[in-house]
Structure 1
Amino acid sequence: MRKIILLLACVALASVAGAQQTKTRNIIIVTLDGMRWQDVFRGADSALINSKFTNDKEAVKKKFWAESAAERRKTLFPFLWSVVSSKGQIYGNRDIGNKDEVANPYKFSYPGYNEIFTGFPDVRMNTNDPVTNPNMNVLEFINKQKGFEGKVVAFSSWERFPQILNIGRSGLPVYSGYADVKNADANARLKYLNELQHDTPKYLGDSTRSDFITYEFSKEYLKQYKPRVLYMAFDETDDMAHDGNYKTYLERAQQEDGFIKTLWEIVQKDPVYKDKTTLLITCDHGRGEQPIDTWRSHGAEVKGSEQTWFAVIGPDTPPLGEVKTATTTYHKQLAQTIALLLGFDFEKNAGHEVGDAIKTVLK
């Protein structure tokens, strides 16, 4: 009996030690809805600049065009192609044989976000309607772990995330659309943002707020409450693409790269986060490319909509830069990757299938 007790104690200690092997103590996840891999890796697209989808072509060329893809992509995403490319990893450049894809067959937003956060391309999640997601998600799972209770939060421009993340079951604070932060001790800046968001022009409709407001909420919440997991979901790249406005699509992408840069700089100056935080950036689906009109669209019938990308930087991620191996990763693998970075095993606790972690992200 004593031997059995000792053995069980050793197993328990090994389990605790295993959960503490990573250096990551916090995670920030950012999504750019519908952001094409082509623009991430090639920069601004000359075919689209010179098409009916770009007004003021000369101004766009002056702002975004350069002779080489390396120059163009760094102009469009300066943070991604300076800091992340030198200290982290970037996946999905199909031009060099590295592929990243969604595994779900639908290739639009709700199924894409379900796949990212549940690790499960559930065929039941086949709508953008406000259907409550029955699947446990990795944010919900992490929020139940010791030291993370009440330390997981999500801010999104699109209003659908309360259903995607099932706030009724998960209890996660999810501030989507025009939802106010109602914490009694919220600082003056957060209270001001509650007022401001309702007064800003609703150019994305009555339910989806601007990415700038989503970013400002995320930034101020991070400063005051020090969440251990922060999810920030931008939407305007998808909106501008659907509108067929390539100029504004590029401008929003560049702006969002700047938002991420500022957030990362705040993190690196804060002892709570510095050298203890992993940042993961990705999208929910791809878009069409040929014929050219299909860049506005995505979905099961649009070729290329499964083609995605992601980037990661943090203390447990080797600085491989642009990943050039001829492999394919899937977004269903991201949930378990996020969990393992924090020392947890989502796959064994989710209650449904979960894709294997992407091992190259972890040392």
Structure 2
Amino acid sequence: MKRHLDLLVVFLFFSVSIMAQNEDTKVVLITLDGLRWQELFTGVDALLVTNTDFVNDTTSLKEEFWREDAKKRREVLFPFLWSYGATNGQLHGNRTLGSKMNLSNNLWFSYPGYNEILSGFADDSRITSNDKVPNPNKTVLEITNRSAKYRGKVAAFGSWDVFPYIVNEARSGVPVNAGFDLAEGNDLTEREKFLNQLQPKVPSPWATVRLDAFTHYYAVEYMKKNHPELMYIAYGETDDFAHDGDYSAYLHAAHNTDALLAELWKLTQSDPFYKDNTLFLITTDHGRGTQPLETWKGHGASVAGAGAVWLIAYGKGVTAKGEVSKSEQWFSNQVAPTILKALQIAGDEEQMQGKPLVLD
């Protein structure tokens, strides 16, 4: 009889432990490289969609994405974000309504932007280029991975091949699959094996950035198999198509990413490990220009408006407020401390300039 009671106690202990783990908040951080707030909040740009310098077939593009009403334009471009996100979450950064989010760094390009998002502060004296230099700063990924509770439960996937350096994979111990990396390990799923075969056979338009579909589906397979509690996914196509001056491809990349976000949400809601316990934070590393019109292709300190960014939040702990129309000023350096707060990790906030965002 005592043996049965002992077994029952052990069973209850492990059951409570598993339930407690499943109730802990999980975080999925997502970035869309260089996506302008203008397209997110007002849809296709009226001046760019008819400009033959940036669009080969203006008629087809207008039929697909142009609507006279700005709210309908944004809904056709980002159907998931403006249906689920606007109904169940928060969208910050529509500057026409007084909601502002900015970079605190003064450089306004990718590595400084990602450092700020991930480390919680700008480092304009040391992060001054997009070179493949290991990040001297600890990111929220590294901080989380070094905590006893979350060790081995953090991962990052990115389309740009600089992310192993931004995350400082060697020092942090956070696994990073980025650029043209393949899935590794002895327990690869059939889909991972297929992606490994397919990726080298599909040319990317860029030497340092793979197509986002590979980043996405490598990440999805990893989430299904390993259940990381902090997951970072960095999509890159929007920025690179913009640099190419191809507004049509930029819009299609944004539209396709919206569908990938819908897939990720569906995945988390169909998996008991993530269901109803996952916070999604979505933002960008920098903005783009608007005037002169051709500056939409670029960014950097000399490009007016390139420091204007945005943030979307939904999931656990987020009060449904939809598109925020009140006057506010948020910064990208607040993302990392928000993640630490959600994961209940203390002790490293002092390195961060930003304060946690109030999402409830």
CA RMSD of aligned residues (A): 1.4
For 1:87-166, list aligned pairs within 5 A.
Answer: 87-123=88-124, 124-166=126-168
- Aligned partners of 1:293, 1:84: CA distance in 2, in Å? 31
Verify the 8 A CA contact 1:137 1:350 in the aligned structure 2.
no
Moved more, 189-198 or 133-142: 189-198
Q: Which residue of 2 is the match for residue 195 of structure 1? A: 197
CA deviation profile, 1:21-61 (whole Å, cap 9, x unmatched): x9652111111100000000000011001112111101001
Q: CA deviation at 1:121?
A: 0.3
For 1:204-243, list aligned pairs within 5 A.
Answer: 204-205=206-207, 207-243=208-244
Verify the 8 A CA contact 2:337 2:352 in the aligned structure 1.
no
Q: Which residue of 1 is the match for residue 266 of structure 2? A: 265
For 1:154-193, list aligned pairs within 5 A.
Answer: 154-193=156-195
Verify the 8 A CA contact 1:89 1:318 in the aligned structure 2.
yes
Verify the 8 A CA contact 1:333 1:358 in the aligned structure 2.
yes
| 1:46 match: secondary structure | coil
| 2:73 match: secondary structure | helix
Q: Which residue of 2 is the match for residue 356 of structure 1? A: 355
Verify the 8 A CA contact 2:159 2:210 in the aligned structure 1.
yes
Q: CA deviation at 1:79?
A: 0.7
For 1:273-292, list aligned pairs within 5 A.
Answer: 273-292=274-293
CA deviation profile, 1:116-141 (whole Å, cap 9, x unmatched): 00001011111000111111110111
Is 1:250 the equivalent of 2:288? no
CA deviation profile, 1:209-259 (whole Å, cap 9, x unmatched): 110111110111111111111111111100111111101100000000000
Equivalent residue letter for 2:192 = L
Verify the 8 A CA contact 1:24 1:278 in the aligned structure 2.
no
Q: CA deviation at 1:351?
A: 6.3
- The TM-score normalised by the length of structure 1 is 0.90
> For this pair of structures, how many residues does the alignment match?
338
| 1:126 match: secondary structure | coil
Q: CA deviation at 1:75?
A: 0.5
Structure 1 gap ranges (5+): 1-19
Report sequence identity in percent. Answer: 42
Verify the 8 A CA contact 1:135 1:352 in the aligned structure 2.
no
| 2:313 match: secondary structure | strand
Q: CA deviation at 1:353?
A: 3.6
| 1:313 match: secondary structure | strand
CA deviation profile, 1:133-190 (whole Å, cap 9, x unmatched): 1111101111122332111111101000111011111011000111122121121211
For 1:47-86, list aligned pairs within 5 A.
Answer: 47-51=47-51, 52-86=53-87
- Aligned partners of 1:350, 1:177: CA distance in 2, in Å? 30
Verify the 8 A CA contact 2:92 2:323 in the aligned structure 1.
yes
Equivalent residue letter for 2:121 = F
- Aligned partners of 2:209, 2:319: CA distance in 1, in Å? 37
Verify the 8 A CA contact 1:117 1:335 in the aligned structure 2.
yes
Equivalent residue letter for 1:29 = L
Moved more, 140-149 or 61-70: 140-149
Verify the 8 A CA contact 1:23 1:315 in the aligned structure 2.
no
Stretches (4+) displaced over 6 A: none
